[in-house]
Amino acid sequence: MSSIRHLIHGLVRDIGFPVRRLLPAAAVRTVGPFVFFDHMGPVEFDSDTTEGDVRPHPHIGLATVTYLFSGAMMHRDSLGVVQRITPGAVNWMAAGRGIVHSERVPEDIRNDKVPVHGLQMWVALPKDEEQGEASFHHYPETDMPRIELDGASLHLLAGKAYGQQSPVRTSSPTLYLSGRIKAGATLSLPADYSERAVYVVTGAASLDGEALEAGVLAVLEPGGEVKLTAQSDALFMLLGGEPIDGPRFVWWNFVASSKELIESAKLSWRAQDRSVFPAIPGEVEWIPLPEK
């Protein structure tokens, strides 16, 4: 019996730079609390341009989780947070009932032609938190547990695995791990969470003998350890957790347990209602609400 329930190849989209969208997909809408998964880059941006900048935009009902492999981004939000996002750090922004943020490519990254490469994930907040207060937490790379196993080096970003616990505060049982595995090495993936998926960022690997190429999300069958074997040196991600507390609606940058919350957010952003979506200090631009 295969360890893989679904293979998701994703769709490449241009949002000013190329991204591969893996979640939500037709076959799988969520993995644990993860409702959105974009793989961005690697891409270099020209000096004296705004290519790659994501202007101020709103969120509700979710937590954004940004993780970079190279390059950097500058985060600003309506809480007044200004944070340079660097490789290996975890940046966890809970939108609650409303937050606005921007993500811009720093000038030195443009000038030095440093490729920006990373993942942007969204985690659905539990129903009792989706209308709560917004927050932002930055966890430096050095705060994340490092786990060294035979042929594999792991960086535990959220949850528990291999006897370690990440300091990242999550709102529901969540697993998020980045790993590098050497060619020929085999790693047993933990079975501590009901829902799991593996994504090979670079390189090639197999899951219990089934080939898994880079850029494909393998959603695993529940229960039991799965063996990941590297055919070449590989960089991979392991994500999952427990199922969220009911279905979620996703429209543009909004995630909610009801369509009414989505519709209310649309009206508030169109009207630029600052009681719901405060302005970002120092920012004057904003992305209009899509008409479709």
Residue 14: what pLDDT? 81
- Strands 146-149 and 99-104, how do they pair? unpaired
Residue 81: what pLDDT? 98
pLDDT mean by block of 10 residues, the chain; 292 residues: 92 85 96 98 94 96 98 98 98 98 98 97 98 98 96 98 97 98 97 96 97 96 93 98 97 98 98 98 96 79
Residue 219: what pLDDT? 98
Residue 224: what pLDDT? 85
Residue 223: what pLDDT? 86
Neighbours of 205 (CB within 10 A): 26
Residue 13: what pLDDT? 86
> Helix or strand or coil: residue 232?
coil
Contacts of 126 (CB under 8 A, 6+ apart): 171, 172, 244, 245
- The tokens for 119 are 């993942």
173: DSSP letter: -
Residues 211-249, buried b or exposed e (16+ Cβ, 10 A)?
A: ebebbbbbbbeeeeebebbbeebbbbbbbbbeebeeebb
